[in-house]
Amino acid sequence: MRHVDEYRDGEAARALLAAIARASHRRWTLMEICGGQTHNLLRSGIDRLVGETVELVHGPGCPVCVTPLEQIDRALAIARRPEVIFTSFGDMLRVPGSTTDLLAVKAAGGDVRIVYSPLDAVKLAERHPDRQVVFFAIGFETTAPANAMAAWQAARLGLENFSLLVSHVLVPPAMEAILGSPHCRVEGFLAAGHVCAVMGYREYEPLAERYRIPITITGFEPVDLLRGILFTVTALEQGRVGVENAYARAVTRDGNTRAQDLVASVFAPCDRKWRGIGEIPGSGLALRPEYAAFDAETRFDVGGIAAEESPLCQAGRILQGLCRPDECAAFGHDCTPDRPLGAPMVSSEGACAAYYLYGRS
């Protein structure tokens, strides 16, 4: 990995901006998948700098945003139990369920703890054999290896007081759902570099062929993002489809096969509901039958909990690129980072929070 400064270099960025302007003969609609990319595009002003030639719409790549409301409610129900130590990454604590959030459960006496790795939760379970330790296993292909390792480690240690509340989602089925919609506006994708660092990009190749679009594997720094935009716009102008890798310093076609093998040994694909979008076939990961004993949903019998999302929230349309956050009537009025109605406003990677934070309204 080379030093990051060269990917924040102003000269390089200006040259790429000029190249994008020269390459474009019409305005193209591109979707960046990842919420981290959305924030970096807005923070660096790239969305405005390329605005005449590229419309950027923001995909469903924020793991907090797409975790269904009922899954938050299930987490809350488990976290309230006196025998439970409920562990999570910090960004899930403020995400509102139907009535409250994990931070409020903690304030009311629930044992809710932030951990930096699911393996920390495994260690907690070892240290507290008299308590049930649950880890909120959300996220994309990027977090799946560590969560798989936690289940594998708990099995190896014979822990009977550790479980995972699983809400894993996968990127390619979501891209397919967006591309297959009759309302799809996306003409090219900037695919998330960190997901591809784990998974490689073989899975994207049949998608690009089937839907006749370019997909560019893209990094996160301003120069990376501009390079991803340039590759995609150039491909569109030349009528090329397929996958290009603009993040070769971190991504190979095959990805991290050891991590993939670990994930495949613990998790199997399943249908999964995405917040705001609904169920997408084959878009999630569930524990394999050999790891079913570590399934918190079954252990605490919370699978029957259902929830209704706010009818005001346009998260589903935003996450499919059908409208922008500032086109939601609640944006900045009924819905702000202090009083979020939907997950894209509460999450640090959410598109609505990014629009609010960087003044795009």
Q: Is 335 in the site for ligand SF4 (CB under 6 A)?
A: yes
DSSP 301: T
Phi, psi dihedrals of residue 190, rounded to the nearest 5°: -100, 110
Q: Is 314 in the site for ligand SF4 (CB under 6 A)?
A: yes
Q: Is 354 in the site for ligand SF4 (CB under 6 A)?
A: no
Q: Which of 317, 330, 354, 309 has its CA nearest to residue 73? A: 309
Contact window for ligand SF4 (CB under 6 A) among 21-29, 166-174, 233-241, 344-352: 344-352
* Total binding residues toward ligand SF4, as defined by CB under 6 A: 16
The span from the CA of 74 to the CA of 185, in Å, is: 34
Q: Is 178 in the site for ligand SF4 (CB under 6 A)?
A: no
Smallest separation (angstroms) from ligand SF4 to the CB of 278: 15
**Strand locations in the chain, DSSP E?**
28-34, 54-61, 84-88, 112-114, 132-139, 162-169, 188-192, 214-218, 242-245, 267-274, 278-287
* Cα 269 → chain centroid: 17
Smallest separation (angstroms) from ligand SF4 to the CB of 41: 17
Q: Is 325 in the site for ligand SF4 (CB under 6 A)?
A: yes
Applying CB under 6 A, which of residues 313, 321, 347, 354 lies at the interface with ligand SF4? Answer: 313
Q: Is 213 in the site for ligand SF4 (CB under 6 A)?
A: no
Phi, psi dihedrals of residue 330, rounded to the nearest 5°: -85, -10
Smallest separation (angstroms) from ligand SF4 to the CB of 310: 6
Query: What are the residues facing 196 on neighbouring strands?
Result: none
Applying CB under 6 A, which of residues 47, 328, 349, 354 lies at the interface with ligand SF4? Answer: 328
Contact window for ligand SF4 (CB under 6 A) among 17-25, 46-54, 290-298, 339-347: 339-347
The span from the CA of 156 to the CA of 175, in Å, is: 36
Applying CB under 6 A, which of residues 193, 331, 347, 349 lies at the interface with ligand SF4? Answer: 331
Q: Is 341 in the site for ligand SF4 (CB under 6 A)?
A: yes
DSSP 335: B
Q: Which of 40, 46, 58 has its CA nearest to residue 12? A: 46
Q: Is 35 in the site for ligand SF4 (CB under 6 A)?
A: no
Sign for the pseudo-dihedral over CA of 71, 73, 77, 80: positive
CB contact at 8 A, 165 and 196: no
Applying CB under 6 A, which of residues 345, 347, 349, 354 lies at the interface with ligand SF4? Answer: 345
Q: Is 315 in the site for ligand SF4 (CB under 6 A)?
A: yes
Return the number of the residue (270 or 323) whose C-beta is nearest ligand SF4.
323
Contact window for ligand SF4 (CB under 6 A) among 39-47, 90-98, 282-290, 314-322: 314-322
Rg, C-alpha atoms of the chain: 21
Q: Is 64 in the site for ligand SF4 (CB under 6 A)?
A: no
Positions in the binding site for ligand SF4 (CB under 6 A): 312-315, 318, 325, 328, 330-331, 335, 340-342, 344-345, 352
